[in-house]
Chains A and B, each alone.
Chain A
């Protein structure tokens, strides 16, 4: 039986085809924010269009507008030249528009088959859901994309991140979409998985689908895309064929000025060992982790997503318990059982999941900053607001926080400014070691530079920094030494002098030179 017969429907690929989907003058405003302004965009069948822009440029809003989650305030969306109204995800399905979103928006407690077909499940003659057909079709879609190892009856929560992504792709394919939007689909994938995804996109392109590919990674964009569209501040600022367009031109359009990602130049002279970790182990997450962190040093932690780096950091911060190993801080043995104990001893942690673990949305900036220092700012447990304000003012100003007032809800700040609040909160505790987990993930270029500059300033003042990052330029540009982790173990500790991107990637992936 040809399992893939009902999914793959070859389309003729015309070299100068008419656009399949066009946006004309689309505008979307939220209270106080103009997310999209007069946006025009065309997607062509059999072509991949790359959507490029900084965070906050309006890309996510655009995706949500194209998939019916948001309704535009002005402008029109046309499919096949006919203007359509997309009032909800259903209308977008009906027009053959589908998206694979940045975060996997799937259902953990439902089966793979249902994740693929929820909302458009096959029905029996009585109008009831036909589970048997649904399973068969799921298997066909998964086999067709080379993901036969995923079973239709598997619970989604039992799958790894990469496989969940494949289910999301399968869902998109099952709709028989003509227009496929991929919103940063490679963010959580390993190199091998990214390669598989690229093949899949090529396959979709060959079928004549119009594809919008959103990514921050230029190597991927140049690898897969035919066209580009650049967004800045909710407006389309440039578009064209990618072939023959230099990367710098696109970057200039993105930021409105020419920039190279420049890392601060530091004259680093690491001192004595501040934090020494020996044989730290966890039953399932990591094993035998040993490293030293010196005074005034930035120690990078590199590895693939899921290599266990965050788990090690959380163990050092006391929020994950260990099964073996020792830690010494300034020569004294420490074994934090909670974040409170770690903070007390001078170790602080800027988490990767900022909204969930970092800032306390719903509370003003100054209360966020003073929270770990309440003992310092209060007298016998009684709050002293003046003290809190002065503490918050001191540290947020050092970080060049952009805010209207210190009583503003931290949730109203941009990602970059929220990150500054988290860092300010920790600096106010006068720590010895500051752990930054993906410190510039999802923040704009301006804030990124500010965070990097500030890290350099901190180590110059004698603080020690551990920086977990999956961005090669950041690891190479900032670290004095790099610990590379693979599958829960330390694969290598490399000095800045021997650093090459190739070595790092090889070591992280476990490929012999």
Chain B
């Protein structure tokens, strides 16, 4: 029971349930399964991105360039689609993942091989990738009328009662869950965050593992690039501007420690869902969407305060009576 209460995911599920319940008392329609599945679908891209960011944060790094990577990759696939409407969409998705991965690998290379702190590297590539988006597009937009029906339609197709976009999110969640809990790479990502020195002694190449983390976040940003563009049917330089902070916010709310080593797939997903529910609830409860930003800010601050409480290290207990009392 005690262990259950210490579990962040349980707390988050509780918080989300309370949030939905409170909204449902005034607007019962909000809690209807149909609406909740819409909220899930609306939050899919953020969930996917948060998982990519989580992997990087676990390794004591940060990727500020994800939103710029998304904009660049989105522009690339939109331009390919506009120029060659017959280009198969599955292949185009692979292109998106590949381009994103290359951009992520550049970040990872600079961190791993040159030894520049991740925050500096991704601060730089944040502006570079967005600038590059302008360069390849010449500042022009790619609109819905230039995109092929397949390009736009794929994620809207229904499969077993859910849009394909939701299935993208579900597949990513499952994939990440398996990766983080059952593969050597996943466990290495945790290990180098918990204790880099001990990781070296355990035969883990810390630098290379960080490189992989950035490759993963890059590939995820690439995938999200396609999903974003096909969802909002416009590719421009301004796409997802500033969105990197929402991604980090989802991670922080999800209990992923910025100090590395602590966090879970469930946490990242729930953190994103929490933000997603708030943004879908605002119009329902008739609060101006301009409140969204302040609310997520408050949520981040509350989450970080609560996480710090949970993480606070308990000192060695020397006195026997205190030990008995604590047990």
Decide if A and B are genuine partners.
yes
Binding site for B on A (CB under 8 A): 67-69, 88-90, 92-93, 99, 101, 105-110, 114, 118-119, 121, 127-129, 131, 157, 160, 282-287, 306-308, 311, 487-489
Decide: A306 near B198, CB < 8 A? Known: A110-B191, A284-B326. Answer: no
Closest B residue to A320 by CB, please name it. B315
Which of A106, A283, A287, A487 is the one whose CB lies under 8 Å from B198? Answer: A106
Chain A residues near B203 (CB-CB < 8 A): 68, 88-90, 92-93, 119
What's the minimum C-beta distance from A152 to chain B, rounded to whole angstroms? 15
Chain B interface category by residue count: 20 to 34
> How many angstroms between the C-alpha atoms of A196 and B202 in the bound complex?
25
- Does B182 belong to the interface (CB within 8 Å)? yes
B187 pairs with A285, CB closer than 8 A? no
B315 pairs with A105, CB closer than 8 A? no
What's the minimum C-beta distance from B33 to chain A, rounded to whole angstroms? 33
- Does B94 belong to the interface (CB within 8 Å)? no
> How many angstroms between the C-alpha atoms of A106 and B201 in the bound complex?
9
B195 pairs with A285, CB closer than 8 A? no
Decide: A109 near B194, CB < 8 A? Known: A114-B187, A487-B320. Answer: yes
23 A-B Cβ contacts within 8 A? A67-B201, A68-B203, A69-B201, A89-B202, A93-B203, A105-B197, A107-B195, A107-B198, A108-B194, A109-B261, A118-B187, A118-B191, A128-B183, A129-B187, A131-B181, A283-B322, A284-B317, A284-B322, A285-B318, A285-B319, A308-B319, A487-B320, A488-B318
A311 pairs with B318, CB closer than 8 A? yes
What's the minimum C-beta distance from B316 to chain A, rounded to whole angstroms? 7
> How many angstroms between the C-alpha atoms of A109 and B313 in the bound complex?
11
Which residues of B from 281 to 299 have beta carbons under 8 Å from A?
none
> How many angstroms between the C-alpha atoms of A282 and B316 in the bound complex?
12
Chain B residues near A284 (CB-CB < 8 A): 315, 317-319, 322-323, 326
- Does B5 belong to the interface (CB within 8 Å)? no
Chain B residues near A68 (CB-CB < 8 A): 203
Interface string of B180-191 (1 = CB under 8 A from A): 011110010011
What's the minimum C-beta distance from A96 to chain B, rounded to whole angstroms? 14
The 4 closest A-B pairs by CB, nearest first: A89-B203, A128-B182, A90-B203, A105-B198
What's the minimum C-beta distance from B321 to chain A, rounded to whole angstroms? 8
Chain A residues near B320 (CB-CB < 8 A): 487-488
Closest B residue to A486 by CB, please name it. B318
- Does B21 belong to the interface (CB within 8 Å)? no
Chain A residues near B187 (CB-CB < 8 A): 114, 118, 121, 129
Which of A88, A107, A131, A311 is the one whose CB lies under 8 Å from B191? Answer: A107
> How many angstroms between the C-alpha atoms of A119 and B318 in the bound complex?
34
- Does B262 belong to the interface (CB within 8 Å)? yes
> How many angstroms between the C-alpha atoms of A107 and B187 in the bound complex?
11
Which of A69, A101, A105, A488 is the one whose CB lies under 8 Å from B319? Answer: A488
Chain B residues near A90 (CB-CB < 8 A): 203
Chain B residues near A89 (CB-CB < 8 A): 200-204
B318 pairs with A129, CB closer than 8 A? no
- Does B178 belong to the interface (CB within 8 Å)? yes
- Does B238 belong to the interface (CB within 8 Å)? no
What's the minimum C-beta distance from A312 to chain B, rounded to whole angstroms? 10
What's the minimum C-beta distance from A307 to chain B, rounded to whole angstroms? 7
Chain A residues near B326 (CB-CB < 8 A): 284
> How many angstroms between the C-alpha atoms of A110 and B58 in the bound complex?
13
Interface string of B259-290 (1 = CB under 8 A from A): 00110000000000000000000000000000
> How many angstroms between the C-alpha atoms of A214 and B262 in the bound complex?
34
Which residues of B from 192 to 243 have beta carbons under 8 Å from A?
194-195, 197-198, 200-205
Chain B residues near A110 (CB-CB < 8 A): 190-191, 194
Chain A residues near B316 (CB-CB < 8 A): 160, 285, 306
Among A88, A99, A107: residue with most chain B CB under 10 A: A107
Chain A residues near B202 (CB-CB < 8 A): 89, 105, 118-119
> How many angstroms between the C-alpha atoms of A477 and B10 in the bound complex?
57
Chain A residues near B201 (CB-CB < 8 A): 67, 69, 89, 99, 101, 105
Decide: A487 near B318, CB < 8 A? Known: A67-B201, A105-B197, A107-B191. Answer: yes
Chain B residues near A287 (CB-CB < 8 A): 319, 321
Chain A residues near B313 (CB-CB < 8 A): 157
Interface string of B307-319 (1 = CB under 8 A from A): 0000001011111
Chain B residues near A129 (CB-CB < 8 A): 181-184, 187
> How many angstroms between the C-alpha atoms of A487 and B317 in the bound complex?
9
> How many angstroms between the C-alpha atoms of A285 and B316 in the bound complex?
8
> How many angstroms between the C-alpha atoms of A68 and B322 in the bound complex?
43
B200 pairs with A69, CB closer than 8 A? yes
What's the minimum C-beta distance from B39 to chain A, rounded to whole angstroms? 32
A68-B203, A106-B195, A109-B262 given; 12 more Cβ-contact pairs under 8 Å: A89-B201, A89-B204, A99-B201, A109-B190, A119-B204, A121-B187, A129-B181, A129-B184, A131-B182, A284-B323, A487-B319, A487-B320
